[in-house]
């Protein structure tokens, strides 16, 4: 059995866990990829899993139209393997002979040897006839689709199309290790093409995503992976030189690191509620050489009495837990796992976090509220509620770099300027 079959089997196990067991795509991939040595196989497994979950609505429609009886629950691993096969043919466009042969072989590796013939027949039909077209909203649950339609009726088609596309790979150059222009030259030397946006001094967008190991100097902290919308957070917060800053939900630490790369004199405290997530912050800072410049703690932002020293912060960043509806292209399993009650709980948590952190902001200081959501309940409506309950805070204007003005913060929709969907509200305390 060649390694290609093992890669298909690994992808099928990840897809099965995500589609049928409610598991996280990133979590399952992290576990699966740790057992694969070959960097090309890791990239292949990741690409198949993402494509299969992203297009699962379309693939389900294909099986429904091609099979006389729907697959039962016992056939969940088979369904997952078929989705991995479909993903190879479309949109990955791998050579058909390799996709078919290795996927059929993988049926034996996942205990489905008796169905290898069925896998072969269905993949050959997909190759011959092509997969049926499906609406871009096929993967969205009806309740969430209705929310997006209510909030962004004129932008609905663009949001759905952008959310169904593969996300670009944005880089953030560590300016403490060199300039963006110098790193751009290193990319070209490594055979990688990239765009350099004129209004984003640290950002580069690769023409084609690559594993981090292919990026020059990644392990030395010269560059990080971070979407451009997330890079805008530093500009929206804009702390004064040497300011005392709190990043209240900091994991994995990318936004805190960006702040420190610009100003090593910042007195920054990065906290997160979960110890494993705090470990990720520490790993981020260690790779970037920032460990000595920041404090990192496991702490609950809802309970400052247990960790705050009583000294107000000049700037507080709350990148709040949210529906992640602005980053569906990066986390397509959001559409599978999110439920209406989850949104209610998230909105309540966001309000509690805002209220708990407000008293930590120094007079004249800034509270930046950010999410990767595109839902009004989590964004503009949340800010309107906060301002009504906290008359000592006022909304400060942001410009067009941060997307469209909602009247209570700025909203970037998915795909605009190549970025993720993101929300920013800059609130100053009197």
Residue ranges of the binding site: 249-255, 272, 300, 319
Domain positions in the chain: 3-129, 169-225, 236-429
- Evaluate whether the domain defined by 169-225 bears CATH number 3.30.365.10: no
- Evaluate whether the domain defined by 3-129 bears CATH number 1.10.940.10: yes
Distance CA 33, CA 212 (A): 14
Q: Which of 89, 107, 372, 398 is catalytic?
A: 372
Contacts of 424 (CB under 8 A, 6+ apart): 232, 233, 236, 368, 369, 370, 398, 402, 403, 409, 410, 412
322 catalytic? Reply is no
Assigned token pair, 218? 């990644």
User: Looking at the domain 236-429, which fold is it?
Assistant: Rossmann fold (3.40.50)
Contacts of 417 (CB under 8 A, 6+ apart): 197, 228
Strands (E), 321-407: 361-371, 393-396, 404-405
From first to last of the 430 residues of the chain, give the pLDDT tens digit. Answer: 577 899 999 999 999 999 999 999 999 999 999 989 888 899 999 999 999 999 998 999 899 999 988 888 899 999 999 999 999 998 898 999 889 999 999 999 999 999 999 999 999 999 999 998 888 888 899 999 999 999 999 999 999 999 999 999 999 999 999 999 999 999 999 999 999 999 999 999 999 999 898 999 999 999 999 999 999 999 999 999 999 999 999 999 999 999 999 999 999 999 999 999 999 999 999 999 997 778 999 999 999 999 999 999 999 999 999 999 999 999 999 999 999 999 999 999 999 999 999 999 999 999 999 999 999 999 999 999 999 999 999 999 999 999 999 999 999 999 999 999 999 999 999 9
Residue ranges of the binding site for S-adenosyl-L-methionine: 249-255, 272, 300, 319
């Amino acid at each position: 059995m060649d390694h290609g079959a093992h890669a298909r089997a690994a992808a099928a196990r990840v897809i099965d866990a995500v589609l049928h067991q409610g598991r996280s795509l990133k979590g399952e991939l992290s576990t699966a990829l740790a057992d694969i040595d070959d960097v090309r196989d890791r990239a292949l497994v990741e690409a198949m899993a993402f494509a299969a979950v992203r297009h699962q609505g379309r693939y389900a429609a294909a099986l429904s139209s091609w099979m006389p009886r729907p697959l039962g629950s016992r056939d969940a691993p088979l369904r997952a393997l078929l989705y991995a096969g479909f993903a190879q043919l479309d949109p990955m466009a791998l050579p058909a002979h390799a996709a078919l042969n290795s996927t059929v072989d993988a049926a034996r590796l996942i205990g489905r040897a008796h169905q290898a013939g069925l896998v072969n027949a269905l993949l050959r039909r997909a190759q011959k006839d092509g997969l049926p077209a499906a609406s871009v909203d096929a993967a969205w649950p009806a309740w969430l689709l209705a929310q997006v339609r209510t909030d962004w009726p004129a932008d609905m088609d663009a949001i759905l199309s952008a959310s169904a596309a593969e996300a670009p790979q944005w880089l953030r150059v560590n300016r403490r290790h060199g300039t963006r222009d110098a790193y751009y030259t290193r990319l070209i030397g490594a055979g990688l093409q990239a765009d350099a946006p004129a209004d984003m001094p640290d950002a580069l967008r690769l023409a084609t995503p690559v594993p981090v190991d292919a990026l020059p100097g990644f392990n030395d902290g010269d560059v990080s992976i971070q979407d451009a919308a997330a890079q805008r957070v530093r500009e929206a917060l804009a702390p004064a030189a040497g300011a005392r800053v709190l990043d209240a939900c900091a994991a994995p630490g990318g936004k805190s690191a960006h702040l420190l790369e610009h100003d090593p004199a910042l007195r920054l405290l990065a906290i997160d509620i979960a110890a494993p997530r705090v470990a990720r912050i520490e790993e981020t800072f260690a790779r970037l050489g920032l460990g000595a410049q920041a404090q990192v703690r496991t702490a609950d932002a809802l309970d400052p009495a247990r960790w705050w020293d009583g000294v107000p912060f000049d700037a507080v960043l709350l990148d709040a837990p949210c529906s992640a509806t602005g980053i569906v292209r990066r986390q397509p399993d959001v559409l599978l796992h999110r439920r209406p009650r989850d949104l209610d709980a998230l909105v309540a948590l966001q309000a509690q976090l805002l209220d708990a952190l407000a008293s930590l902001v120094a007079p004249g200081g800034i509270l930046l509220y950010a999410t990767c959501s595109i839902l009004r309940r989590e964004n503009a409506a949340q800010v309107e509620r906060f301002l009504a309950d906290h008359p000592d805070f006022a909304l400060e204007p942001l410009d067009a770099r941060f997307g469209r003005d909602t009247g209570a913060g700025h909203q970037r929709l998915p795909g605009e300027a190549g970025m993720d969907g993101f929300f920013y509200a800059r609130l100053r305390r009197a």
